[in-house]
Amino acid sequence: MAKSEKQAYDEFIKGVWRENPVFVQVLGMCPMLAVTNSAINGVAMGMATFFVLMGSSFLVSLLKNLIPKQVRISCFIIIIATFVTVVDYVLLATLPGIHKELGAFIPLIVANCLILGRQEAFASRNTIRMALADALGMAAGFLFALVALGGIREILGEGKLFGISLFGDNFEPWVIMILPPGGFITLGLMLLFFNWLEEKKKKLDAQVAATEGSDL
Amino acid sequence: MGDLGWIFISTLLINNFVLAYFLGLCPFLGVSGKLETSFRLGLATIFVMVITALCAWILNTYILIYAPYLRLISFIVVIASVVQLIEMAIKKLSPALFRALGIFLPLITTNCAILGLAIFATNKGYGLWQGLVYALGAGCGFTLAIVLMAGLREEVEMSNVPTMVKGIAFNLIVSGILSMAFMGFAGLFSAG
């Protein structure tokens, strides 16, 4: 039991950091850039994706022995589309303001390659428990990326975070950041930062290996 | 007629699907390495988009008024199967055209730009002709964006970019600059 506990935890952490869907795998770019002009929209989109990913991973993993191999992709897409329709209607009924902000990008969660990718690569070959751990990790990683990007763009573009003013009246908003070009450039710079971290880590590892080698 | 022309120009330049709505980013970033390939991908996308607009209009007018909650699922299933059928027909009728567009067709069907087109056209309440012109504008806009991007990337191949910046991060920053240039078109009509 303890071992499977650790394994599940491992799958979770993998999604959040080591194989972060946005910064490392570069998946799910369209919804990522389109809705992140504020942190709150990022949270809403992240939660919607979270629900869809958990639901479809659970169902796919449950039905993995019933779905014929040849038509599996179509089956996955229909399962995902069902959950997305549920989210769409629930948001419309409970949070109409958010639903209006996100607009057509809620139905477009279907086309998020992150979700289909997890079904094909993970949920359809693992137990329900592992599939849920993996979905939880990937969704958390996606949420983290959305909120980080949305937060940066909102702070620079409006001087606010979650709608709370940060800098007072003297701040001149950097409007371009909440417009489309700002999305591209901010994400580009964030990826650059992650590349830099990776590079640095590699150098450090090489250094450690070299010093260990000389000690022997 | 002025209305249709306005829809075309606005989707082509001002509300460009890639650079203003962030739709179809995967092929935009993935396939824009070579100018010729990206041009062919663009043509295939225009083709699929026009078919999509037609399918969406038929579904919306005749079927989905009875069951609106099936919209998303039926769009996906119908568009994918119609494109598959047309692909088979082209293979039989015109092998030359199939060689030019063929490999891209199945790839494009589940692209978010295609689904986005169907959903946007529905939300805007476009009729048949408006929808078709909208699709044509969106397809041409996608082609324009991806061809420009491929041209830029071919230039960049020649120059000396630091290895750390190379790849997706660099492409995103270039797209950002391209998107900024397209924002200039926003003033195109408001003055008049």
* pLDDT by 10s per residue, chain B, length 192: 468 888 888 888 888 888 888 888 877 887 777 888 888 888 888 888 888 888 888 888 888 888 888 888 888 888 888 888 888 888 888 787 777 766 677 667 667 888 888 888 888 888 888 889 999 999 999 999 999 989 988 888 888 877 777 778 888 888 888 888 888 887 766 543
pLDDT tens for each residue of A134-169 = 898 889 888 988 888 888 888 888 777 877 777 777
Taking contacts as CB-CB distances below 8 angstroms, the residues of chain A near B171 are: 188
Number of structural domains chain A divides into = 1
Res. A65: pLDDT tops 70: yes
Nearest residue in A to B114, CA atom: A111
Q: Can you give the residue range of the structural domain that contains B133?
A: 2-185
Number of structural domains chain B divides into = 1
Nearest to B149 by CA among B2, B14, B31: B31
Q: Report the alpha-carbon distance of residue B164 to residue A51 in Å, rounded.
A: 35
Nearest residue in A to B26, CA atom: A29
Percent of chain A predicted with pLDDT > 70: 96
Tell me the DSSP string of B95-147: HHHHHHHTTHHHHHHT-HHHHHHHHHHHHTT--HHHHHHHHHHHHHHHHHHHH
Q: Can you give the residue range of the structural domain that contains A144?
A: 2-215
Question: Which token pair is B151?
Answer: 């041209």
Q: Report the alpha-carbon distance of residue A161 to residue A156 in Å, rounded.
A: 9
DSSP letter for B24, please: S
Chains A–B, number of C-beta pairs less than 8 Å apart = 106
Establish if B125 belongs to a structural domain.
Answer: yes
What's the whole-number mean pLDDT along residues A179-202? 86
Task: Identify whether the C-beta of residue B116 lies closer than 8 Å to the C-beta of residue A35.
Answer: no
Taking contacts as CB-CB distances below 8 angstroms, the residues of chain A near B176 are: 181-185, 188
Predicted confidence at residue A124, as pLDDT, reads 85
- Put simply, the answer to whether B164 touches A199 (Cβ < 8 Å) is yes
- Helix residue ranges per DSSP H, chain A: 2-13, 29-34, 39-62, 72-94, 96-102, 113-121, 128-158, 180-215
In this predicted complex, what is the ipTM?
Answer: 0.80
Start-to-end CA distance of chain B, whole Å, equals 18
Establish if B192 belongs to a structural domain.
Answer: no
Q: Provide the angle, in degrees to the nearest 10, between the axes of the packed helices A128-158 and A39-62.
A: 170
Establish if B141 belongs to a structural domain.
Answer: yes
Percent of chain B predicted with pLDDT > 70: 92
Predicted confidence at residue A83, as pLDDT, reads 93
Decide which of A2 and B52 is more confident.
B52
The DSSP element (H or E) to which B176 belongs, if any, is helix B168-183
Establish if B18 belongs to a structural domain.
Answer: yes
User: Rounded to whole angstroms, what are the CA distances from A150 to A27, A42, A44, B31, B189?
Assistant: 17, 6, 11, 27, 30
- Put simply, the answer to whether B26 touches A88 (Cβ < 8 Å) is no
Predicted confidence at residue A215, as pLDDT, reads 58
Decide which of A70 and B175 is more confident.
B175
Taking contacts as CB-CB distances below 8 angstroms, the residues of chain B near A100 are: none
The DSSP element (H or E) to which A160 belongs, if any, is strand A160-161
- Residues ≥6 apart with Cβ < 8 Å to A168: none
Work out the angle at residue A75's Cα, subtended by the Cα atoms of residues A69 and A79, and round it to the nearest 5 degrees: 145
Predicted confidence at residue A84, as pLDDT, reads 92
Chain B residues within 8 Å of chain A (Cβ atoms)? 19-26, 29, 69, 71-73, 76-77, 80, 110-112, 115-116, 119-120, 123, 164-165, 167-173, 175-177, 179-180, 183
Q: Report the alpha-carbon distance of residue A146 to residue A162 in Å, rounded.
A: 13
Buried b (16+ CB within 10 A) or exposed e, B134-149: bbbbbbbbbbbbbbbb
Decide which of A170 and B74 is more confident.
B74
Establish if B190 belongs to a structural domain.
Answer: no
Establish if B174 belongs to a structural domain.
Answer: yes
What's the whole-number mean pLDDT along residues A169-190? 83
Q: Report the alpha-carbon distance of residue A194 to residue A204 in Å, rounded.
A: 15
- Put simply, the answer to whether A77 touches B76 (Cβ < 8 Å) is yes
Task: Report residue A216's pLDDT band, with 50, 70 and 90 as the boundaries.
Answer: low
Task: Identify whether the C-beta of residue A9 lies closer than 8 Å to the C-beta of residue A133.
Answer: yes
Establish if B156 belongs to a structural domain.
Answer: yes
Q: Report the alpha-carbon distance of residue A55 to residue A37 in Å, rounded.
A: 27
- Put simply, the answer to whether B76 touches A33 (Cβ < 8 Å) is no
- Put simply, the answer to whether A81 touches B112 (Cβ < 8 Å) is no
What is the residue-averaged pLDDT of chain A?
Answer: 83
